[in-house]
Amino acid sequence: MHLSSPIPHKKARIEIIPLIDIMFFLLASFMMVSLSQVHMKGIKVNLPSGVSGETQSKREYISVSVDTNGYWFFDKEQVSPEEMQARLTKVHQSAPDAKVFVRGDRDTVHGNITRLLEMLRAAGFYKISFEIKSEALKGVPGAGG
């Protein structure tokens, strides 16, 4: 004998609209996180400020830095002046169009930056950019100001 249940039998359903909402939320979240990531190759220095600076792309570039104590850095690695010259020459031979970003601490001696520029010229780099903190972006979060 077959007895039927008083509770009506319902088929399971998968609601796709909430799944789409969650996927769009995750996509938007990952996009915002990836846009906010900045790849810093240089060391942390106290950059001077400027009003007329422009933001540039930092893809395929090298960063050379001089800190307040006069120590030299190639990307984030401290090097001697002789090793800096050798590395700059090697980079120029392998990628002559590489962008060079100079990060000089605001409190470093002017002669250290001048010597670094002479090394860059001797290695063959003539298109050099200086990194500064832009006064125009001071109130913008994440702009480094």
Q: How far apart are CA 66 and CA 74, in angstroms?
A: 9
Residues ≥6 apart with Cβ < 8 Å to 40? none
For residue 144, what pLDDT is reported?
46
CA 32 to chain centre: 15
For residue 21, what pLDDT is reported?
92
Enter the CATH code of domain 49-134: 3.30.420.270
Q: 3-class SS at 104?
A: strand
For residue 25, what pLDDT is reported?
93
Over the chain (145 residues), the average pLDDT of each successive run of 10 is: 74 85 92 73 62 55 85 88 90 86 84 88 86 61 46
For residue 12, what pLDDT is reported?
79
Q: 3-class SS at 73?
A: strand
Give the bridge partners for 104, in sequence order: 66
For residue 37, what pLDDT is reported?
67
For residue 52, what pLDDT is reported?
58
Residues ≥6 apart with Cβ < 8 Å to 79? 72, 73, 87
Q: How far apart are CA 20 and CA 28, in angstroms?
A: 12
Write out the two tokens for 79. Answer: 């090097």
Cβ atoms 63, 103 nearer than 8 A: yes
Residue ranges of the domains in the chain?
49-134
Run of H or E including 62: strand 61-66
pTM of the model: 0.53
